[in-house]
Structures are given as C-alpha cells and as structure tokens.
Structure 1
Amino acid sequence: MELLKEIAAQVENGRHNEVRSLVETCIEGGVGAGDILNNGLVAGMNSIGVKFRNNEVFVPEVLMAARAMKAGLEIIKPILLRDKVPSKGTIVMGTVRGDLHDIGKNIVCYMLQGAGYDVIDIGIDISKETFIEAARSNGAQVIGLSSLLTTTMTYMKEVMEAVRASDLAGTVKVIVGGAPVTQDFAVEIGANGYASDASTAVEVVRGLLGYWPIRGGGSGPRVAARLLLLFH
C-alpha cells in the first residue's frame, strides 16, 4: 500500500509531523494498526538502521527517525492494546552502575522500539539488583545493560554473577556490546553472544526471540528464556 510506503519513507527522513498525518489518514481509511506498525513505522526504522550500520547516516538522523517513529506509535499504541496485537517481546534497558552515559543506550532503545518491541528504559547508573528486579516485574524477555567506559564495563561481570545466583539462572541468555567491549570479553564473563552496534543488537534479539508473539492474541510458541542484552 502506497500510504504505508510513504510512512516508512517519512520515518526514514525524520519528518514526525508528516508521519503523524499519514498514520491518521491510514486509520481513517481502515488500515489496521498492526499493518501501520510493521509495514510503515518498523519498515522505516529498519531502513535507517541499515544505513546507520553502513555509516551512511549518523546519530542525529537516527534520533530524528526515532522521533518520527514515536509520533506515529503514540497514535496507534492505544489501538494495538485494544485489539490485543501481539508484542514481539519486552526489553528492559539501562546504563550500568557508575556510568552516566545514555546516548548509545537511547539509540538501541529507539531501534528496538522501531522493530516492534516493548522497551522499558530504567535509566542510568543502575545496580544489578535493579536490573534483575525490573526483568521480573515487567516480565521482560530482554534486559539491556549499557556501558561506555572500561571502568564500568567490568560491572557487567557482577551482573552476570548476580543473574547466575538468582532465580533467573539457567533461563537467561547474555549478549554483550559497547564501545569498550569485545568478543573476547563476552566469552570471558560467560556471555552467550556479542553485538557491536544498535542494528546488530536488533538482529540478535530477532534471532533469539524470533517473531513469535509474547503478549496474548497471537499464534506460535512462546519464548520461555529471557535474554540479557548488554550494549553501549
């Protein structure tokens, strides 16, 4: 549908007013909220994500696209909830204790939201206990830990140890990433995988959680395991 393609294009261009207007036009024309989400908003964020990964666009463009996507999402979210459109999963994101940086974390949040996941951002300077409790209370399949500094990335190991000592032990999969983080570090702390950028993080989450619905109303198997995503 041409309107959905136009929504995707305007999301990619970061034009939030145009996105809002197009989404309203689609709703008035009887287009389903799920179609608007997947074939309009998500498609646009997917496109900007690929360009970001390939260094064709940069942080300002991603933030503008995210703003445009959120403008459309605000309109259709009540409809999605009313119609019980299945969620792809819930992700808790935050920056680890001692680290006050959040730009990278925010980009990951925007990209995951744009990919159709429910994202709960719990902020900066977050303790291991808070991450674990947030996962429990929100029924999250994914927890994202953000770290930009070599001095704070070591706290990821403490989170890993806390997870292993908790009731989540054996059900949590761990992926690490961030400016100072390497694949070797991921192996060293016992993580299950590594993502080097925001687009890769989305792909990893898709691969591990798949497209099966988590919230009621859809078909396909439920994903029992939680994923712990460590990213910058």
Structure 2
Amino acid sequence: MSTTTPAPSATRGEITLQPSYFTSSLYVYPFREDLFDLILRFSECYAIHPGQPFAVFKKLWSDYGWCWLHFKVFDSRAREAFIKTTERLFLERVTGEHDSPVGRVVALFALYVFWKTQPSGSTPALHSVNYIEIPIDHYKFLLDLPDMLSEPALTPLRPYVTYILSSFLEVQAFHILPHSSLRPYDPSVLPREIFVADADPSLLDDSPIANLMTDLPKKKGRPSKREKMRKARDAVVTLNKYMDKCTPPAS
C-alpha cells in the first residue's frame, strides 16, 4: 500500500504536498462529501429558483469557497495530480450509474467552471492542464446528457448543458481514454492510498503485540512513547496506592 510521505519544499520555508496526497483518502473522501453537499444545496435552491440554474450554481460555488479551489496547491508536480484527480471526481458524478439528473448537471457545471478558471495570467505562472481525461464510454454518455433532461422540471437545465458541452468540443478539451472496463486511469481506482491513523499506544498495553514487545530485551537509547506512557500510568497507580495508605481514617 502506498503512503503519503513528506515531499521537499520547493523553496525554503514553503511546504509542498506530494502528488500522492491528492489520490489518497485524505483528499478523495472529503472532496466527494463536499461535492455531494454542493449538489444537495443546489437542488434545494433550484426548486425555489428554477429559472436561472447557472446563476444559482455560481453563487453557491462562491459562497461555499469552491472559487478558491485552485489555490490549494502551487507546486507544478502536485498541481498536475490535483487538477486531474479533481476533474476525475467531477466526472465521476456526471457519469455515475446511480446519480440523479440534477446531480449530473451540477457536477458538469463544476467541471466546466473548474477547468475554465485555471489561473493563466498569474506571476509566477501556475501549472495548468489543457485536457480532461475521460474514457470513451463516459464520453458518449456525456454527449447524451441533454437528452436525459426531457422532464418539465429539468428542461431549464438543458440549454446550459448543451452550451457547456459545445464549449468543450469547440476547444477539443477531452482526451479520450480506452473503455472504462479496462481501467484506463492512473491510478485505476480512487483513492489509491488509504490513510490509517496511528493507534493510541496506551490502548495496546494489554494486547498480545504489547505483551510480546514487553518480553523482548530492552534496547539502549531513548524510551519509546509507549514505554513513557506505561511508566507514567504506573507512577499514577503507585501514587494513588500511597495516598490511600497514608490517608487517615475519618473521625
């Protein structure tokens, strides 16, 4: 299993994330939850204001901080992974098997805004990705999305979806990959790295592993964190026993 190890800073005093952070559960799981929340909020607002769906989306995009997404990372190597993973997660909701039509449209809006707002005139220049990777079967599904919005409640979304797809096709934004059944993405599955928090050493004191470690000969050098916690706990127990022994009986 891969790990998200620290990466060297690009310049002194600057922290740089490794590309593996953006393909890990640390980024993928919270992103999916945030996107689900965005879709839910849009659905609520769209039910009240169905006439201007993209204006509603832009307001939510700005109000909930999505407009700052591109400033999450500045290192070129990490930005490549960040942008590709983010676009892939948006497409995941557009072409998902069980997603609602409104959810697909919101994810398409998000993909469009995210891709179009890549900083191009900043100094120093930020790395951008010119193409959106998409498997060929998902690409065909995407082109059929306007036809899925035939219900009266969804027809206001149709011209916006058609315009966005036309804009993508006009600039040849898509990089077509083999069929999704062949798992053409790299990595093939998201998240690739699963973050597992370290267990509290004090919880392992009575475990077989802890008992085995206790039986091993002690090494010279600085005591481990578990040893320090055990000594501190033993000291507290000893102190409590001493206090109980020295406490005079109540009169």
TM-score by length of 2: 0.31
Higher relative strand content? 1
